[in-house]
Amino acid sequence: MRLIDLSVPINEDTPIYPGDPKTEIKPNGVMDTDGYEDHFVCVGTHVGTHVDAPRHMIKDGKSLDQITPDNFAGRGIVIDVRNGFSLEKVKAADIKEGDIVLFYTGMSHRYHQSAYYDAYPAITEEIAGYLVEKKIKMVGVDMCSVDHEPFKVHKIFLKEQILIIENLTNLEALIGREFKIYAFPIKLQIDGAPARVIAEILG
């Protein structure tokens, strides 16, 4: 298998969405005294590479554990939008029902700059509506969010049970490839969770 990791590492320096709680990682067991090493890790549910469940933005929406595993894996499509989002580019991609559509904006290259949180592009409502019609499974971005306040695009997707993956990285490695996506969040029973997102290159 040729697997590519699309996930950022999670540590105390992992950038945090403004207003979200800071990551804390503290030792619990220590090798020299306990003979083993373990840690206590405190994170916001939307830290690093993560999946949004409907409940994140839709009142009484489904929590992550209410989504079947089939929703977390599928054929991947990457769309290069480094020059901006446009419906034409999205229509030109051969999107099929059940696909996982990733947008490569290039923002991941600015992950540790303030621009990452204050100067990122947004998926348009028109594009979101088109992807809903196409019945995709998930949408993913190499940005901190798919849109800005008041988060209309978030709500368009989540209302239709299309899960959102944010803070992806390495999307450039997928350009021109056929691949599958596995975007498996840990099984929290709430609004979202950190996920390990891996692409399997098929050709």
Which residues sit at the interface with its own copies, rule CB under 8 A?
1, 3-5, 7-11, 19-21, 24-25, 28-29, 31, 35-46, 48-49, 55-57, 59, 65, 68-70, 72-74, 150-151, 182, 184-196, 198
Q: For its own copies, which is the closer residue by CB, 61 or 129? A: 61
Residue 47 φ then ψ, to 5°: -80, 150
Of 48 and 121, CB closest to its own copies: 48
Question: Which one, 105 or 167, has the nearer CB to its own copies?
Answer: 167
Residue 112: CB minimum distance to its own copies, A: 16
Q: How far is the CB of 35 from its own copies (least distance, A)?
A: 8
Distance, CA of 158 to CA of 57 (rounded, Å): 7
Report the nearest approach of its own copies to the CB of residue 89 (Å). 28
The smaller minimum CB distance to its own copies, of residues 87 and 202, is found at 202
The amino acid occupying position 171 is: L
Backbone φ and ψ for 165, nearest 5 degrees, come out as -110, 130
Give least dist CB 114 to its own copies, A: 21
- Nearest Cα neighbor of 139 from 181, 188, 88 is 181
DSSP label at residue 51: E
Tallying the residues shown for the chain, one arrives at 203
Separation of CA 88 from chain center: 23
Judged by beta carbon, residue 81 or residue 161, the one nearer its own copies is: 161
140: its two tokens: 């993913």
Q: Give the count of beta carbons closer than 10 Å to the beta carbon of residue 18.
A: 8
